[in-house]
């Protein structure tokens, strides 16, 4: 690290250094690398604010790093933001306890922390936030229900003034929370629906299924058979059968598609219905050759051309070969396209040698876009369909530089400005190569993609080669289409959501005149960035969905 720092380009932007610094300190903090963290903060940029280190340390459970940052760099770190969320999510109990004792969560972050605690079933944090900070519990109740934390749900309903007292029976059934369902039913805090039954059946919780049947009867069990078959719950199927619950003809299809041969046999032996070719089609699509064979030998419905085509698309060559030998339906036209797109070269070769449906230019286009160079080469050498400019465009968009280079050297279709524009979503090396080796160039979309993705390195490169012909503020304007009209009146321009503080501060610093007529949206829990705008004299004008819209002090609306 020190070696690389000593060889930094002399003209490196200060904001670029800040960006690198924050990425490096976050990496060091997350790995418990105290030596590197100390050098970065004491020698490399001794006065720089650390925007990511606290969150990274909490995310990785690095309590010693957090203690060191708190003791030595408290004023240079972002405390009380959402670092507690990361610790809760990853169940770092020691970090959670230390943060609760040591750091006061910022007001605008408390609801998010409460929600994360509810999702993870951390009742202690939910109680702490509710009792000590009076955080609203409505959203927390919803998350606790969705994630199956009955104790959290019951505590919130019992101790908090929530707007909706009813328990979500669908979520409780899906999570197998029989105790919560019984508790809610006893207090008339909800009721079941057809979706409730389906949720219980889907998870195979037979005790919940039985309770719902006893409590509410058969009338809400529509679709239960198919759901049990689809999820492989034979015990539930047998129970439904014993209680004469009606079914639909798709139960065989559902079981076959998931490869549940035992259930397929049971349905064949115990249920009557209008079964269809979809059973073998779905089994073939998902590679369940044993089910395909059994259906072929024991049922009369057969399959369609989709069976072989879909098996080929998903790379199941054994299924493709078996269908070719034992069935007459064949496959769809251009059957090689989709296996080529997904990189299944052996399937592509076999279809080429044994079938006549062939492929289209989509095969090479999609293979290139997905980075399957070996498929691209084979198609080039063995097929005549070729490709279009979409091949190089797609490869560039996804950062597959080796594919881009190969197409450049071996094909003549080239690319369009879409290649460089789409590669600007973070693929700096690809952007640089295209600029040096292709003549198509880029458009305003390239800068927009780089900015919205927070790719500072790409932004700087594009600016360095654009000779000022791209007005960056116009490039960034209008990125947030849902921005409320009352925020931007007159000639104000929007930076949209700032993807990273270093990039936005660099932009506003280097274009001060244009900054006089712009607004910027910042996440409310980004304490450092919010404070930066405040120190620069900007004013908060609008708050919505966890975001704050700031305007320049020189604007008068």
**What is the per-residue pLDDT across 484-532, written as a single tens digit (0 to 9) for each?**
333 233 334 444 455 566 667 777 777 666 666 567 777 777 766 777 7
Integer Cα distance of 112 and 51 in angstroms: 19
Integer Cα distance of 327 and 273 in angstroms: 24
Buried-state track 417-431, b at ≥16 Cβ within 10 A, e below 16: bbbbbbbbbebbebb
The label of the residue with tokens 């879409």 reads: 418
For residue 469, the tally of other CB atoms under 10 A from its CB is 7
**CB-side neighbour CA atoms (13 Å) of 340:** 33
Q: Is 41 buried (19+), middle (13-18) or exposed (0-12) by CB count in 10 A?
A: buried
Q: What is the tens place of the pLDDT at every residue in 191-241?
A: 998 899 999 999 999 999 999 999 988 777 888 999 999 999 999 999 999
* 220 neighbors 193 (Cβ within 8 angstroms): yes
Q: Which two tokens stand for residue 277?
A: 């070719």
What are the extents of the domains in the chain? 1-104, 483-557
Nearest to 329 by CA among 310, 350, 352: 310
Q: What is the tens place of the pLDDT at every residue in 15-33?
A: 667 878 889 999 999 999 9
Per-residue CA distances from 274 to 222, 225, 251, 278 (Å): 17, 14, 10, 11
pLDDT of residue 543: 77
Class of domain 483-557: alpha beta
pLDDT of residue 10: 52
* 488 neighbors 444 (Cβ within 8 angstroms): no
Instruction: List the 493-497 sheet strands across, edge first.
Output: 493-497, 518-523, 547-551, 539-544
Q: What is the tens place of the pLDDT at every residue in 18-75?
A: 878 889 999 999 999 999 999 999 998 898 889 899 999 999 999 999 999 999 999 9
Integer Cα distance of 311 and 306 in angstroms: 8
pLDDT of residue 2: 56
Nearest to 444 by CA among 454, 459, 427: 459
What H or E segment, with its residue span, contains residue 201?
helix 194-203
Q: Evaluate if pTM is beyond 0.75.
A: yes
Give me the DSSP letters along 375-415.
HHHHHHHH-S----HHHHHHHHHTT-HHHHHHHHHH-S---
pLDDT of residue 493: 45
Low-confidence ranges of the chain (pLDDT < 50): 3, 475, 477-496, 556-557
pLDDT of residue 171: 96
Q: Give the list of residues 6+ apart from residue 548 with CB closer than 8 angstroms, or none.
A: 521, 522, 523, 524, 530, 540, 542
Q: CATH: 1.10.10.10, 3.40.50.300, 1.25.40.20, 3.90.1150.10. Which one for 1-104?
A: 1.25.40.20
Per-residue CA distances from 276 to 168, 268, 444, 504 (Å): 36, 13, 52, 58
Per-residue CA distances from 174 to 202, 210, 413 (Å): 7, 14, 52
* 51 neighbors 88 (Cβ within 8 angstroms): no
Phi, psi torsion values for 83, nearest 5 degrees: -60, -30
Intrachain domains 1-104 and 483-557 with the same fold = no
**CB-side neighbour CA atoms (13 Å) of 486:** 4
Integer Cα distance of 387 and 414 in angstroms: 10
């Amino acid at each position: 690290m020190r070696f690389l720092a000593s060889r930094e380009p002399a003209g490196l932007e200060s904001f670029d250094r800040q960006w690198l610094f924050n990425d490096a300190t976050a990496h060091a903090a997350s790995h418990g690398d105290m030596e590197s963290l100390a050098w970065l903060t004491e020698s490399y940029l001794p006065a720089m604010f650390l925007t990511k280190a606290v969150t990274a340390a909490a995310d990785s459970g690095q309590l010693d790093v957090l203690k060191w940052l708190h003791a030595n760099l408290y004023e240079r770190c972002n405390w009380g933001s959402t670092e507690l969320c990361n610790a809760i999510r990853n169940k770092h109990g020691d970090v959670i306890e230390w943060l609760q004792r040591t750091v006061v969560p910022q007001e605008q972050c408390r609801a998010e922390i409460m929600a994360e605690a509810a999702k993870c079933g951390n009742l202690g944090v939910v109680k702490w936030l509710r009792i000590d900070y009076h955080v609203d519990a409505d959203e927390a109740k919803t998350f606790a229900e969705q994630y199956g934390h009955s104790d959290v749900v019951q505590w919130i309903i019992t101790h908090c003034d929530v707007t909706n007292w009813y328990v979500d029976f669908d979520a409780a059934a899906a999570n197998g929370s029989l105790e919560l369902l019984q508790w809610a039913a006893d207090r008339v805090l909800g009721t079941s629906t057809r979706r409730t039954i389906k949720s219980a059946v889907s998870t195979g919780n037979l005790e919940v299924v039985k309770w719902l049947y006893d409590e509410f009867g058969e009338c809400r069990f529509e679709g239960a058979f198919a759901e049990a078959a689809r999820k492989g719950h034979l015990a539930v199927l047998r129970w439904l059968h014993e209680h004469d619950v009606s079914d639909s003809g798709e139960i065989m299809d559902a079981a076959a598609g998931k490869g549940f041969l035992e259930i397929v046999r049971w349905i064949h032996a115990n249920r009557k219905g209008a079964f269809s070719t979809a059973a073998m089609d779905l089994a073939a699509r998902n590679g369940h050759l044993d089910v395909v064979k059994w259906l072929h030998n024991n049922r009369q419905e057969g399959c369609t051309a989709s069976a072989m085509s879909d098996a080929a698309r998903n790379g199941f060559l054994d299924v493709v070969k078996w269908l070719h030998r034992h069935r007459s339906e064949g496959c769809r036209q251009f059957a090689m396209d989709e296996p080529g797109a997904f990189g299944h070269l052996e399937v592509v070769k076999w279809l080429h040698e044994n079938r006549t449906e062939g492929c289209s230019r989509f095969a090479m286009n999609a293979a290139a876009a997905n980075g399957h160079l070996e498929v691209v080469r084979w198609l080039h050498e063995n097929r005549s369909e070729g490709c279009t400019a979409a091949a190089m465009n797609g490869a560039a968009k996804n950062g597959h530089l080796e594919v881009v280079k190969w197409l450049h050297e071996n094909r003549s279709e080239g690319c369009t400005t879409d290649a460089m524009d789409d590669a600007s979503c973070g693929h700096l090396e690809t952007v640089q190569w295209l600029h040096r080796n292709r003549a198509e160039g880029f458009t305003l979309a390239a800068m927009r993609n780089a900015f919205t993705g927070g790719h500072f390195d790409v932004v700087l490169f594009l600016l360095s080669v654009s000779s000022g012909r791209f007005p960056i503020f116009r490039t960034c304007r209008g990125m947030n289409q849902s921005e409320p009209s009352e925020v931007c009146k007159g000639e104000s321009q929007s930076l949209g959501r700032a993807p990273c503080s270093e990039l936005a501060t660099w932009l506003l610093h280097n274009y001060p005149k244009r900054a006089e007529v712009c607004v910027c949206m910042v996440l409310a829990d980004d304490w450092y960035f919010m404070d930066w705008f405040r120190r620069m004299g900007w004013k908060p004008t609008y708050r919505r969905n966890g975001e704050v819209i700031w305007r320049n002090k020189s604007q008068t609306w």
